[in-house]
């Protein structure tokens, strides 16, 4: 059965309902995500600037898509935690000009 965006929409709103997942991502995947996110972040910052990179990260749909591009295919729970953890490890002041903190 194919699930579409319309299936996930809450009627009368602009909100989606997404299922929760349990468990943790495999370590091999996290290592790959760290490496890939560092390269992608560097290209985005060099091409569009730090402010645009931060604007994109703050867009929930772009952020979700970024998680998919990095290989994190869980479509809801864990995306924010995992992607931000990965970015904290890959976006470094000496190479990117900014750092990700918190968590």
The whole-number pLDDT of residue 16 equals 65
User: Quick one: CA dihedral 35, 62, 58, 51, positive or negative?
Assistant: positive
Which of 2-11, 76-85, 92-101 bottoms out in mean pLDDT, i.e. has the lowest? 2-11
What is the chain's length? 103
The predicted-structure confidence for 33-42, as pLDDT tens digits, reads as follows: 999 999 999 9
SS3 16: strand
pTM confidence score: 0.77
Of residues 56 and 21, the one with the higher pLDDT is 56
pLDDT tier, 24 (very low <50, low <70, confident <90, very high otherwise): confident
Place of tokens 């995500």: 33
Q: Is the pLDDT of residue 8 over 70?
A: no
The whole-number pLDDT of residue 75 equals 62
Whether residue 91 contacts residue 54, with contact meaning beta carbons closer than 8 Å, is answered with no
Distance CA 64, CA 3 (A): 17
> What does the domain layout of the chain look like in residue ranges?
25-96
Half-sphere exposure of 56 (CA within 13 A, CB side): 14
């Amino acid at each position: 059965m194919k699930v579409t965006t319309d299936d996930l929409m809450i009627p009368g709103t602009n909100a989606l309902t997404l299922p929760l997942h349990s468990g943790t991502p495999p370590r091999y995947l996290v290592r790959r995500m760290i490496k890939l996110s560092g390269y992608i972040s560097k290209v985005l910052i060099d091409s569009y600037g730090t402010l645009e990179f931060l604007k994109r990260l703050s867009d929930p749909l772009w952020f979700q898509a970024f998680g998919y591009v990095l290989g994190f295919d869980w479509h809801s729970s864990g995306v924010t935690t995992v992607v931000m953890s990965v970015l904290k490890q890959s976006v470094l002041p000496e190479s990117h000009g900014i750092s990700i903190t918190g968590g």
